[in-house]
């Protein structure tokens, strides 16, 4: 039997998917601490709320596609936001099987209070990069997004 070639060991500190995931989680958690402490929202609830504010009438399925969140996480976030009175669900006029989601007035109010906090934290984080580095990061992120998802834009 021929000897199997050994693959290189996986070194997590240099493995791009691991590094990006950990960095994304660390950044999300910094912002999440703000809206969890002040408004009692989870990362997933905020993410769903932000997408819905950006695209009123979006469906839960579309939120999952747009955020790369799994169906269960989206469903739980939507249910929690409805229970809090921040979301309203209605049947789509085009397709009765599809539900449209919109922020209620209370949800819009919470969203408008969180946005400045999120933008301030983003500005604080990117201020550690020069303007040139920020532009290069945006370019490289776009390039990686296209390689990871060649059939559709991620953002």
What Å distances lie between residue 73 and 9, 61, 78, 101, CA to CA? 33, 11, 9, 16
* 61 CB-near residues (< 8 Å, 6+ apart): 71, 98
> Structural domains in the chain?
17-148 (1.10.10.10)
Instruction: State pLDDT tens for residues 55-105.
Output: 999 999 999 999 999 999 999 999 999 999 999 999 877 777 789 999 999
Per-residue tokens: 109: 């109010």
Q: What is the DSSP letter of 12?
A: G
Predicted TM-score (pTM) of this structure: 0.84
Rounded to whole angstroms, the Cα distance separating 60 from 65 reads 9
Rounded to whole angstroms, the Cα distance separating 140 from 155 reads 14
Instruction: State pLDDT tens for residues 111-154.
Output: 999 999 999 999 999 999 999 999 999 999 999 999 999 999 99
Q: How many other C-beta atoms are found inside a 10 Å radius of the C-beta of residue 28?
A: 14
């Amino acid at each position: 039997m021929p000897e199997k070639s050994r693959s290189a060991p996986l070194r997590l500190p240099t493995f791009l998917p691991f590094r990006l995931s950990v960095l994304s989680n660390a950044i999300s958690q910094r912002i999440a601490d703000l809206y969890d402490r002040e408004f009692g929202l989870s990362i997933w609830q905020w993410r769903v709320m932000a997408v819905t504010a950006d695209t009123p009438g979006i469906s839960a399925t579309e939120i999952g596609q747009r955020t790369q969140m799994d169906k269960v996480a989206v469903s739980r976030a939507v249910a929690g936001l409805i229970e809090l009175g921040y979301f309203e669900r209605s049947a789509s006029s085009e397709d009765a099987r599809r539900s449209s989601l919109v922020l209620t007035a209370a949800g819009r109010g919470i969203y408008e209070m969180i946005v400045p906090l999120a933008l301030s934290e983003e500005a604080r984080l990117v201020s550690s990069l020069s303007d040139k580095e920020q532009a290069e990061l945006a370019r490289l992120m776009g390039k990686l997004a296209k390689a990871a998802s060649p059939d559709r834009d991620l953002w």
